[in-house]
Amino acid sequence: MAPRPFRLGRARTGLGIFATRPIKKRQTIAEYKGKMLGVEAAVKAEKSGNRYLYEVNSKWTIDGAKRGNIARYFNHSCNPNADTFIRGKRVFVRTIKNIEAGDEITYDYGRDYLKNVIGLENCQCSRCRKRRAKERAEARERSLRKKKRLAAATAKGKGKGVKKAAVRKSKKTVKSRKTKR
Ligand SMILES: [Zn+2]
């Protein structure tokens, strides 16, 4: 493989991989390297909290936790610009979009990892952050509209009427409670 077209850098979630020059799509850029674990060893590693396990097939899992495995630093994204593919028992990372210099390079870790390890609401990828920002903006918009409606109702005098009625009602309930005793 040619010299790496990327570097390790600070990402939103810790470290990440960033392109140092434009990379065309469908370029193999890294290999996910590590010790091959059988099923039993893989289960044990997972239980001990190893988050860098890549299940190659039903028999083999790559333990990519060693720092020498540069591919462990690719972060997850729900809208990635790379993915992984398997050749025999080896796993490679390739681009699926044209990438600009400076872009973070990410791949999709899959639904299970997102759900069980990251947590659906904790994903910090650009798509999820945009979605949550949009949801917050919509919620603000809704509460603003509600306030405006209430203000308009109060200005018309409707609001006052409602308030008075509410006060009368609460007085009544207090009275009735007292008489009961
Ligand atoms: Zn996401």
Which of 147, 125, 135 lies closest to 12, judged by CA? 125
Confidence of residue 179 (pLDDT cuts 50, 70, 90): very low
Is there a contact between 5 and 71 (Cβ–Cβ < 8 Å)?
Answer: no
The rounded Å distance from CA 78 to ligand 1 centre is: 4
Residue 171 Cα to ligand 1 middle (Å): 53
pLDDT, tens digit (0-9, with 9 covering 90-100), for 119-154 = 989 999 999 999 999 999 999 999 999 999 999 999
Structure-model confidence comparison of residues 3 and 19, the more confident one: 19
Residue pair 63/50 in contact (Cβ under 8 Å)? The answer is yes
Of 83, 79, 78, give the one whose Cα is nearest residue 32: 83
Domain spans in the chain, listed from the N-terminal domain onward: 6-120, 129-180
Measured in angstroms, how far is the CA atom of residue 104 from the centroid of ligand 1?
14
CATH for 6-120, options being 2.170.270.10, 3.30.460.20, 1.10.357.10, 3.40.50.11540:
2.170.270.10
| Residues forming beta bridges with residue 92, ordered by sequence position | 31, 85
Amino acid at 153: A
